[in-house]
Amino acid sequence: MNLRGAGSAVPVTIVLLAILVIWYAATIWLNAPWQLDMYQRNHVTAWSPTQFVTDTWNQDRPVLPSPHQVAVELWKTTAVVAVSSKKSLIYHAWVTLSATLLGFAMGSVLGILLAVFIVHNNAMDRSLMPWIVASQTVPILAIAPMIIVVLNAVNITGLLPKSLISTYLSFFPVVVGMVKGLRSPEQLQLDLMHTYNASRLQTFFKLRWPTALPYLFTSMKIAVAASLVGAIVGELPTGAVAGLGARLLGGSYYGQTVQIWSALFAASILAGLLVIAVGIVERLVVRRMGARP
């Protein structure tokens, strides 16, 4: 096997396996004190090392759940339980996903609009751009609970408050990427449009917009992941009603570590799927526009 080859599948797999081994080892180490305590209390003296290891891997409320426990919990809460049930992780993931998608859509539209204004107006560029950058140094997630609670107080509930946080997090990468993208046509190309007597609108739709699309998709991949973070944090202050964030909070209230870890993995899988989905749309759009792979 050629480990120095071009692909990165083999190294990634081996590193993943190593992480799995380390995880199992850490499970034994972290869960051992509680297990020893249990043995002492139940007067179990004759325990073998193998029994000890399997016991630490299968505790009810472990300090660190073992990978197979998380996998079983994920399987149970997605495949076995009915989707409509409150115990179903798919149900919670859907609640989070809908807020994420709404926020992502609003953030992308806002980002694109701002970028269009910034590119076409010098004063907008000078006045808005510094504040857009500054807006991201503000720990917006800290404001999340207030936005949720305050909007709840004036009877705006449901998806919108969560989505607003997602919007705030996701518009930034889109603005920055689109400003760069809309400015990426070279002077030569702009001059050509000028010799065609193209209006600003025509220049925008026939030159700037197509040139900016690759930048748009790159920044949308970042934006969709940020949007998910916003939705999850937005679910924390509502007091564990529904959504992956609520599962995290509920798990931490009741010490259900397996539930926390499975919610965390569900969120990671969701983030991966969303990024892949944006990538697929990108490939379709780019192919329609006539790009050759």
Partner 1 sequence: MTPLQKALALLAGLASLATLFVPYAVVQGQPVPAWYFSPVAALAVVTIGILLTFRNALRPAYCWAVALCAAIILLGTLSRIDKAGPGFWLVLVSGWLMAWLFAERLAGAIRSKKVGGRAFGFLIPLTLGAAILVIWEAVTRGGGVPTVLLPPPSSIWARITASLPLLAADFQQTFLKAVLIGYALGCGAGFLVAIAIDRSPFLKRGLLPLGSFVSALPMVGIAPIMVMWFGFDWPSKAAVVIIMTFFPMLVNTVAGLNASGSMERDMMRTYAAGYWQTLFKLRLPAAAPFIFNGLKINSTLALIGAIVAEFFGTPIVGMGFRISTEVGKMNVDMVWAEIAMAALAGSLFYGIVTLVERGVTFWHPSVRGG
Sites of contact with partner 1 (CB under 8 A): 3-4, 8, 11-12, 14-16, 63, 121-123, 125-131, 134, 136-143, 145-146, 149-150, 153-154, 221-222, 225, 228-229, 232-233, 236-237, 244, 248-249, 251-252, 255, 257, 260-261, 263-264, 267-268, 271-272, 275
Nearest to 88 by CA among 238, 230, 243: 243
CB of 64 to partner 1, least distance (A): 8
* R_g over Cα of the chain: 25
Residue closer to partner 1 by CB (options 44, 273) is 273
CB of 48 to partner 1, least distance (A): 28
Q: What is the full DSSP assignment across 160-211?
A: HHHHHHHHHHHHHHHHHHHHHHHT-S-HHHHHHHHHTT--HHHHIIIIIHHH
CB of 108 to partner 1, least distance (A): 17
* CB-based contacts of 161-164 (< 8 A; 24+ apart in sequence): 161/234, 162/99, 162/103, 162/230, 162/231, 162/234, 162/235, 162/243, 163/99, 163/100, 163/102, 163/103, 163/106, 163/231, 163/234, 164/103, 164/106
Residue closer to partner 1 by CB (options 149, 291) is 149
The amino acid at residue 170 is S
CB of 259 to partner 1, least distance (A): 10
Residue closer to partner 1 by CB (options 166, 289) is 166
CB of 156 to partner 1, least distance (A): 10
Residue closer to partner 1 by CB (options 144, 216) is 144
Nearest to 75 by CA among 64, 58, 89: 89
Residue closer to partner 1 by CB (options 138, 284) is 138
CB of 153 to partner 1, least distance (A): 6
Residue closer to partner 1 by CB (options 80, 190) is 190
CB of 205 to partner 1, least distance (A): 21
Q: Are 38 and 61 in contact (CB under 8 A)?
A: no
Structure tokens at 217: 């998709």
Who's near 254: CB < 8 A, 6+ residues apart?
none
Structure tokens at 245: 């964030």
Residue closer to partner 1 by CB (options 115, 244) is 244
